[in-house]
Amino acid sequence: MRAVAASGKNTRALWAATLGMFLDGFDLSILAIALLPLKSQWQPSAADVGTLMAMALLGSLVGGVLGGWVTDRFGRQRLLLPNVMLYVLGAVISALSPDLGILFLGRFVTGLAIGLDYPLVATIVAEYSATVRRGRGFAWVNLAWFGGAVFSTVLGLILLPVGPDSWRWMLASAVIPAVGLLWLRRRLPESPRWLLRQGRSKAAAAALRALEPGLDEDAVRVRLDGFGAQRMSLAPLWQKRAWRRRLVLGVLPWFCLDVVSLGIALYLPSVLRSTQVASSDMAAAGINLIFEIVTASAIVYILPRIDRVGRIPLQKGGFALMAVGLAIFALGVAMPSVVVLFFGSTLYALGLGLGPAVTIFALAVEIFPTEWRASVAGLATSVSRLGAVFSAVLFPILEQRVGVAALLMAVAAVAWLGRAITARFAVESSARSLEALEREALEAAKPGP
């Protein structure tokens, strides 16, 4: 983790953010595998499956807005532990569910906890990282998401032979990384930037010294002066064109990404089974694991390059590659051709990791002021989860009505839309301080002569 951290509790804060993303990747991916034995045991309808997949996403939608507001209003520390305990509660309810209704509730509680955590994690990475390493910080935490996905898929493969109740063990296993996250987040300091904007300069200095013990008093004073102390109301976010453009860039590409990526992530094993590409549940889970590893490998590739290449080029290129890959994937289903299908899905997985899987998370927080940062990240989380809810509910229904190939082409169009929005509203944040980005927007928002 040397690429991300500076020293002191800064290191632990970024590891705490990383493990939070690991938990989200673990949760969504384990459900994709758990669905295989669950469908065999309970025989849910397509609508039931869609609702089950959507419940955690609906919880995230609510949690994103609430978590962003709480994080900006009451500080970054306030949700560090409660949302993880809420996640443990949701995992236990899910694992012990006697019927679909209780399982829906458990999944909603789990999603609520994850939604609360998203704006918190994004803000921690943005505010606790040095400017020159901030992009790598975002790459690390998003790599952790896929690390969680890979780990949960492997665990699902191990647990599948347990029998019809293996899905219960899969959902219960999420408690283990959650307990580790509780331990890691204990006694983390508040964000110095947030404290300074609240007028608490002495507390801000103490927090900065805790995060970076190597700073002397002069260095602490210089750093705090650089953070600025001007507080901003939320009104200009909606009133000023410069801020509205940034809001579009921070929110809508993430919506497009979740329509595409979470729909594919949730249903790829089932699609592989329905198209006869995979001959068994084990084979479907194994193929899904390969694609997750491809995406994770792409993130590893851009890890040392993201701050040099820039967020916008990576996001545009990644969305384009995702769209092309999904179109080829659809062609492979229609032909049918396993070779073409695998080629297309591999391109999609590469495109996801080479850009949007990392960059949308960074842009949602980097280009906004301290007072709005978590709130905008929470809004982006909620809007993105709305897109994911559409996918979760509609994928199994549309698969039956229009077929897999047509569905994949529609999803490819959404990926291309994400590229178009990124190009139209581009704001590059690489290698620029949060305060410099803030000043640029403030200048652009000033009325002309």
pLDDT tens digit string along 232-254? 656 566 667 778 888 999 999 99
Residue type, 21: M
Number of separate domains in the chain: 1
Is residue 98 included in any domain, yes or no? yes
Give the whole-angstrom CA distance, residue 10 versus residue 208: 9
Is residue 205 included in any domain, yes or no? no
- Residue 403, sorted as left (phi over 0), alpha (psi -120 to 50) or beta, turns out to be left
What's the confidence (pLDDT) of residue 235? 59
Q: Looking at residue 281, which CATH number applies to its domain?
A: 1.20.1250.20
Is residue 180 included in any domain, yes or no? yes
Q: Provide the residue range defining the domain that includes 111.
A: 8-188+230-445
DSSP notation for 64-103: HHHHHHHHHHH-SSTTTTHHHHHHHHHHHHHHT-SSHHHH
Helical packing angle, 100-128 and 46-74, nearest 10°? 40
More confident residue, 46 or 51: 51
> Other CB atoms closer than 10 Å to residue 155's CB: what's the count?
19
Give the whole-angstrom CA distance, residue 406 versus residue 431: 41
Is residue 193 included in any domain, yes or no? no
Please compute the mean of the pLDDT values over residues 270-296 and round it to a whole number: 77
* Exposure class string for 237-247: b at 16+ Cβ within 10 A, else e: beebebbebbb
Q: Is the peptide bond before 44 cis (omega within 30 degrees of 0)?
A: no
Is residue 239 included in any domain, yes or no? yes
Please compute the mean of the pLDDT values over residues 202-209 and round it to a whole number: 85
Confidence of residue 1 (pLDDT cuts 50, 70, 90): very low
What's the confidence (pLDDT) of residue 198? 81
Give the whole-angstrom CA distance, residue 186 versus residue 191: 15
Which phi and psi angles does 426 have, rounded to 5°?
-60, 135
More confident residue, 238 or 93: 93
Give the whole-angstrom CA distance, residue 389 versus residue 269: 18
pLDDT in tens, 387-440: 888 887 777 777 778 888 888 899 999 999 999 999 999 999 888 888 888 777
Confidence of residue 10 (pLDDT cuts 50, 70, 90): low
Is residue 200 included in any domain, yes or no? no
Q: Compute the residue count for the chain.
A: 449
Confidence of residue 184 (pLDDT cuts 50, 70, 90): confident
> Other CB atoms closer than 10 Å to residue 402's CB: what's the count?
12
Q: Is 0.85 surpassed by the pTM of this model?
A: no
Is residue 199 included in any domain, yes or no? no
Is residue 255 included in any domain, yes or no? yes
DSSP notation for 227-262: H------SHHHHH-HHHHHHHHHHHHHHHHHHHHHH
Give the whole-angstrom CA distance, residue 28 versus residue 265: 8
